[in-house]
Structure 1
């Protein structure tokens, strides 16, 4: 029997080692890397990029963090190119880490005009599985020669490889269906694999073989947007509550959810309670919205009971029940939230945490701190961590909490580190500024960098210089926070 693969958390190095901090994207790791001999840093950077250390590859960004360190230390990119050539083959299972390699190389080419990075992307197109995204990145580069010859390379690859041709056809068909649903303004804000978008439009203009690939699909690519049959906001505002329930479907559920609170009155409570058990999940969702607006004891008990007894098959509608109960006043919800939070049922932890993150009292602080002490929590295996951190951030001036510092040092998810930093800044602002604010300026996560800009002491050596660099950060919030502190200075 093959041995079970270790989890991402188990593969992380000790949190206070240089490798451990680089894997987690900490600002302290960035600063330590700058102070270390480059030849000691290079293999650690390559290790991080090739063996993606992120728990959440959708929400955690590391590309700019690693790309910036590559530029600062002069690391060679050949190990990344070698790994792509070795592992990005069609029948391989080694796809999990390719995204971080490509996004880091793409960041080097895009933000730093790194010519070797551009060549790695160009060399990748003839064989790589992510050829579509890489071609789009090359098309967005403002570097001479980025797309030279790529049209011919792709025309040959798509025409000669049945698997790639099938992938091309499916992608065009999928993007075409999406394109037809968009209005004129929406079409301007997307990039699709269609000959009306770049770089495909240029490829078709200068390469007959590429144009033929799109033409053989038989699609009229210049089709105007279809007339919209969506209800306008003015029309929705004229509907009564019962008319909304009679006509709601998947296409109108979101709009009706927004407008429904202004339609609800206490006289509607019985009507709404009846629909909590509706077989139509859109009507159940609207019932939760209305009952949340009423926030009566009967409404609370109905939603509470629904949450407690529903199965995972109902989790789509249950999510809206969470939203409704979390918005109810604490005199209705807080005692239940405390019980749910300490239960062994994951689906009860979610609304309980949401309620505590809004309404926790000082009496809840020991329970919240105890939650931070469990190994599963720091490993991000217990989803109560986010809400425990946000709840602790309600209490200013509690003083340093060692468990918050442990989370900041050890947690693998960079957004949880931000929440720990935010809670430390509220509970012990002087301690946070002295011990952590400066390193936050180099954190991989934009919210943590923003917090660092807002809290760092301008008398700290190097702080003002870093703020001037962050005044040109890629993230709007970071830029604005850095510029505001500079202006204050």
Structure 2
């Protein structure tokens, strides 16, 4: 998939794409047609940069319910000609997940679309997993024949069927079909279940990795050969060194960290950093100064893994440096520095936003550090990251940092966070939002009664429901 195009944060579309609580609040006051158009755009053109970890489906499903939205756009998206041409599950996954939540809320039209797509669509396995959580036994049994018809009754088809059964997230449909009264269906599914179990067992017995009995030189050679094939193996190779290297091997490893080929040098640096070798920090500094881009990246990563006081002290000296080592030093101080390092972490945070924007990967660590260290002066930068980032996870981290640094959080961003797409952000808001706002009281009651809400969020809500906030 191409990176999604995210609209400005001040627009309704931009708010909904980001999954912000203000997106829902603005959509409910906007003209219905405009709100539904923006909502459909988000569902049909997944706005997430990392669709495998960021949440949007429940957020969009709830808004569909609030707007009483029709599903014509989703239907056209799922059953159009492009479904056969673009088989990437990311094209339809969000729409199917939204339908799954709508079905759990009792939308019969969503359930019908899921059944139809499971029978005929390209991304049928995702639809089947959604139905496994929401459909009744009769509905699932009706899909046995069309799903099995996808797999020819030959050796290749049976192997594909066994793989589909093995990789299914939800086993319920397959277990139902294994007991189907139609012998032809039950026999095929039982055979596939058995083949999948055997394949999993067989793969566990296979071992394609290094052996602890190897020598240091053999581990270096394995890492070098991997690099020639395009596989970066320095991380597992460093773990192997930890198993096979002895004190007598240290001079060889130190030499490899200074003079080895890229793969060997990366392996040696990782091993020395993980073992907190006294020479590791000097070798990391040298590697960043004269190494290739691959070596620099590995050296910086190795440095950030170091936990000792020496690494933190060195980070204080490196933090004001330009380049990757200075940025890494800022992150080390954000994770493990003390109150004396607040100015350095704040400077790193400001520089990252100024130089790389509100979606810079380094911000995840720096935002957490600003909250951990209670850097109140960081609140304006954190508010900017909260508003502008396209990552709902980074926004949640910014919200958590604001809760620790911004006295206005409880009456400001915490209120809109009750409608956020991420459950961890809603949980944070449930614990902090000021209940003097009538919207907060109403939202807490709704979350407490919503069966689709996460248990952690409802626990936080219940902690706020007391004499001043009686349950509805």
Normalised by the size of structure 1, how large is the TM-score? 0.73
Give the distance between the partners of 2:316 and 2:53, measured in 1 at CA: 30
Match of 2:123 in 1: 130
The question of 1:169 aligning with 2:159 is answered yes
1:361 aligned counterpart, secondary structure: helix
TM-score scaled by length of structure 2: 0.76
Aligned length: 443
1:330 is the counterpart of 2:318: no
Deviation at 1:477, TM superposition (A): 3.5
2:416 is aligned, of 439, 454, 478, to 439
Matches of 1:355 and 1:386, distance apart in 2 = 12
SS of alignment partner, residue 354 of structure 1:
helix
Partner of 1:210: 185
Match in the other structure for 1:63: 57
Q: Which moved more, 1:74-83 or 1:306-315?
A: 306-315
Report the counterpart of residue 107 of structure 1 in structure 2: 101
Residues 64-104 of structure 1, C-alpha deviations (whole Å, 9 max, x = no match): 00001111221111221111111553224786531111111
Q: In the aligned structure 2, how far is the partner of 1:143 from the partner of 1:391? A: 47
Q: What is the CA distance between 1:456 and its match in structure 2?
A: 1.3
Aligned mates of 2:40, 2:326 — CA distance in 1: 38
Is the contact made by 1:42 and 1:73 (CA closer than 8 Å) also made in structure 2?
yes
Q: Which moved more, 1:58-67 or 1:300-309?
A: 300-309
Q: Following the alignment from structure 2 to structure 1, what is the Cα–Cα distance between the partners of residues 39 and 427?
A: 24
Change in CA separation of 1:419 and 1:215 when aligned onto 2, cut-off 3 Å = closer
Report which stretch shifted further, 448-457 or 324-333.
Answer: 324-333
Residue 400 (structure 1) shift: 6.8
Change over 3 Å in CA distance of 1:478–1:281 after alignment to 2 = farther
CA contact (8 A) 1:400 1:427 kept: yes
Contact 1:333-1:355 at 8 Å conserved across structures = yes
Which SS does the other structure have where 1:58 is aligned?
coil
Q: Which range is displaced more, 133-142 or 434-443?
A: 133-142
Does 2:425 match 1:448? yes
- The 5 Å alignment of 1:66-465 reads 66-92=60-86, 96-109=90-103, 111-143=104-136, 145-159=138-152, 169-170=159-160, 172-173=162-163, 191=169, 197-206=171-180, 207-211=182-186, 213=188, 273=254, 276=257, 288=270, 291-294=273-276, 296=278, 298-306=279-287, 311=292, 321-325=302-306, 329-339=311-321, 342-343=322-323, 348=325, 351-358=328-335, 359=337, 360-374=341-355, 376-378=356-358, 380=359, 382-396=360-374, 398-399=376-377, 401-428=379-406, 430-465=407-442
CA distance in 1, matches of 2:312, 2:205: 41
Partner of 1:481: 460
Partner of 1:8: 4
Unaligned segments of structure 1, at least 5 residues: 179-189, 231-238
Q: d(CA) in 2 for partners of 1:336 and 1:267?
A: 32
- Structure 2 regions of 5+ residues with no counterpart? 207-211, 224-234
SS in 1 for 2:443: helix
- Aligned-CA RMSD value: 4.6
